[in-house]
Amino acid sequence: MSDDIPEVPSWVPRDSYPFEHRYLDLVGARVHYVDEGVGPPLLLLHGNPTWSFLYRELITHLRGQFRCIAVDYPGFGLSRPGPGYGFTPAEHAAVVERFVIELDLSGVTLMVQDWGGPIGFAVATRHPDRFSAFVIGNTWAWPKSDPGTQVFSRTLGGPIGRYLILRRNFFVERLIPLGVRRRKLSTPVMDAYRGPFPTPESRHPMHVFPREILGSRPFLAEIEQGLPALGDRPALLVWPTKDVAFRDAERRRWERTFPNHRTVILEGAGHYIQEDAPEQIIAAIREWVARRVDED
């Protein structure tokens, strides 16, 4: 852990995100994370354009049962990239892999959503002995090239997306509110999502992700090949009904991948399930863990 701890920015809300800020220097990056609670590790991985703040409700309510660990990828949240960092999912996965090894995590329950899926499962397929169970939100971990995916990746990953994301902060200002269907996010919450991206230059990491849906097909294919080795682990699916990106087809594929699964449908929830349905997700995780204890 580095002794050089940066000052916490004013846009981090102390009341809803009151956790200790921790940092590691990994692969040339200054990586921010929170590590709260006791029990088996629950590793929480975010997507685009969010950061560990996304998991604040889960951390607050599950840290009595789990050691809740949430990491920010370089360029997101409070993490800073090193020189030459390209913000690709493969690079993020390499950082998370080093993070897991540095903290020597084992018996990990991994929770993923959005790009957290490919990033997290890249690490889990490389180190299956460190992971014991999975909480899977709306995500994927294989090459995806249906027409909707191609339009999204080529549009937002191309020149139009570069303008919208870098100049108009499109992901934060438009897609986050559109992806939360059950509630309206408060100004302090929106400011916490705006905070990491004050300038066009700082928004570049958000633009890389949509491009890489198609650009990272070899990386995604490698993960896909490794998934069967994890298929004996228990999995909890927490799946929204109002996400335009991940629908029933992806959910069914996860259910086939993990025969020992439980699925909880988040009725009416949008893409950002941690904002839309935190209470339901927390209850689902608690019930799922209790059932597994009873079965053992």
- Distance, in Å, from the CA atom of 138 to the CA atom of 239, rounded to the nearest integer, reads 6
Kindly give the residue spans of alpha helices, DSSP state H, lying in 27-181: 56-62, 89-102, 116-126, 147-156, 159-162, 168, 170, 176-178
Distance of CA 66 to CAs 43, 57, 61, 123, 286, Å? Answer: 10, 13, 10, 20, 10
Contact between residue 284 and residue 266 where contact means Cβ atoms under 8 Å apart: no
Question: In this structure, what token pair is assigned to residue 12?
Answer: 């981090």
- Beta-bridge partner residues of 240: 266
Q: Give yes or no for a cis peptide into 49 (omega within 30° of 0).
A: yes
- Distance, in Å, from the CA atom of 251 to the CA atom of 239, rounded to the nearest integer, reads 7
Taking residue 287's Cβ as centre, other Cβ atoms within 10 Å add up to: 13
Residue 177 class from Cβ within 10 Å (0-12 exposed, 13-18 middle, 19+ buried)? middle
Give catalytic residues, as residue numbers: 114, 243, 271
